[in-house]
Structure 1
Amino acid sequence: MDSAKPEALNLELNFSEQFGETASQTEQTAALAAVAVTSDDNERSASLLAMALGGDGDDVWEGTDAPEYYSGGLGNDDLDGEGGNDSLYGNSGNDTLDGGDGDDYLSGYTGMDSIEGDSGDDTIYGGGGADSLEGDEGNDLISGGTGNDSIEGDEGNDSLYGNSGHDSVEGGDGDDYISGYTGNDTLVGGAGDDMIVGGSGNDEIITNSGDDTVYGGSDDDFINAFSGNNLLNGGTGDDTISGGDGDDSIYGNSGDDVLDGRGGADYMSGYSGDDVLRAGGGDTLSGGSGADSFLFEIVYADSTSVITDFEAGVDDIQFYGDEYTVYQGDALSQAVQVGDDVVITRQVYDAFEGAGATLELILEDTQLDDLSSSDFMDGLFYY
């Protein structure tokens, strides 16, 4: 193992491109500390503190509070920048890089690397291999590169890119931008108002607190939101999308999608395809083209839901509860024409809890004469 703590050395460095100066050379070496180059007019200066270029072995380098440039070379290297705005390159091998304090640039290149930015606004590139990348504090930019990477932004407003491979990306605190790009990725928003883009592949996308924006992209995605008022768009493919406790806007887009509003007053649109839209009460549903199923869960709370485009004889409406749910009459017998709309009012009762509720469903721009009993179903449970 090669271990180096940079000492003060004299080394030729050509800064002519930016500073028009060249320092004198006295010996060839791999490390440099405390060299300053200043232009003739004293208006521009550069300080390069601690430069180290690794060889074939496993290098261990620890920096100082000054800026460092470390390049590990071959081998499994351990590079720690400590303080300052550092540039650390693992290069070949399975490397461990820690930027420490400051705004650092960290690159693993090839191999299965472990990289942590620590505090500061860091830029991290995993490169090839299955890398573990963590931004920690600050507003970080992290790109996994190729391979199946694990990426965590942690604190701050981070920009996280899985790129190719089957990646796991978690935003943590802050308002983050998360992109899976290609591959079957797992993307988690964390706290804050996040924007998450799945890209291609069958992605699993999970939001937590905050008002999040999600676009699944192509292929068959699973999107699950928790709290917050979220905008969820499945993109192409057969997607499964669940809203949270807030007032969500959910779009299936193309494909045969399953949309579940859960809590809150949600808007759901299946768009094209044969979609399933599941409402918890107080929701507005639009099936779009295709043979769609509208499901209404009995939650024993008074509510009014709206279907904007029900097509009799093509779509169907299902009410479901559990084995203790008692319906008063069938749905069609409790439907009336009100202007251009059909209003269905259903009384339901929980025989176990002794609780009841009134469910109102409005079918916009629908004629009662076009409806039949085959358009409705009462059932137990839905999975």
Structure 2
Amino acid sequence: MLFKDMGIIAPLLKAIHKKGYEECTDIQMRSIPIILKGNDLIGCAQTGTGKTAAFGIPLLQLLGLEGVRQIEPRALILVPTRELAIQIGEALKDFSDVLSIRQLVIYGGVSQQKQVEVLRKGVDVIIATPGRLLDLYRQGHVNLKKINKLVLDEADNMLDMGFVHDIRKLLKAIPSGRQSLMFSATMPTQIRKLANEIMKSPVEINVSPVSSTVDKISQTVYFVEKKEKVALLTKFLNLEKDLQTLIFMRTKHGADKLAKDLSKKGLQVLCIHGNKSQNARQRALNSFKNREVDVLLATDIAARGIDISELPRVINFDLPEDSETYVHRIGRTGRAGKVGKALSFCSTEEKPLLLKIQKLIGFQLKVG
């Protein structure tokens, strides 16, 4: 279905067209009409399906039609990581600008001064990580009493990262009569429980279940012992030096060590994980997106803000403990109809993890 057939107002349609979008993704086609009607919604969809526009476009349209301009924010989008907050802010900026809707991205790891200054001038939409927003609320810098639209994006990851208590505290400060939207790649019991607590008769939609993997991604596993992984990785990186590659690591320490090992071999790489400062992480992401550096090492949480439409290759240096994480990882490539490669290194001790992954996705990976 085309965006022009979705009941979207002219200014937003013009902005959508300017971005080169004409046809809705499945999650957008199914979510937008429900949100525009004012219903609560639970959307189960994996990374790369167009979730941001699915909730962002109708949310901004509803705010624009309200025609109310005040100091206090009217919509709140909560996300698990700073990178994702920045990504959503960038994705929605062109849409909010055409409606003169003021938005602010709030996250920790940086000085709060600039965020407080913008809040004093007034904003309509806040995109935030729970911890920093709760800090600002407790200090009296932000009033949440006028919030009438709430979005919880990547809800499963927020629970995994321990944000549930901060979220519950923030919910107490937000009016109960709001419209609530929840998007999550998986729907564990804790998410279902939270949804039942905070939502009113939500409509539930399921798109691209987590067990699915994009057909255009070639998936290959290489059986290699742990001590030989660096040599194999170096071989692949040297064979195709200009091929942009995202490498997933299980731990922060492992990512740092691998970065040093590759640098010693003359390869230029960048590394991001939770121990890096926000500025360092953002610089690394920007360098990778701008093709200043073609190899980026990342842990799963740090990689949440990476959204590159034509990323050609993902390498799992370590297999993830959680099978569903494998699907999220390789979903970083093969986007927007492009082909992609997903290579996985599997040591003897990781074979049980591989079996779980193959059971989840429903087929065996090609052996390289």
With normalisation by structure 2, the TM-score equals: 0.19
With normalisation by structure 1, the TM-score equals: 0.19
Higher helix share: 2
> Computing the radius of gyration over CA atoms, which structure comes out larger, 1 or 2?
1
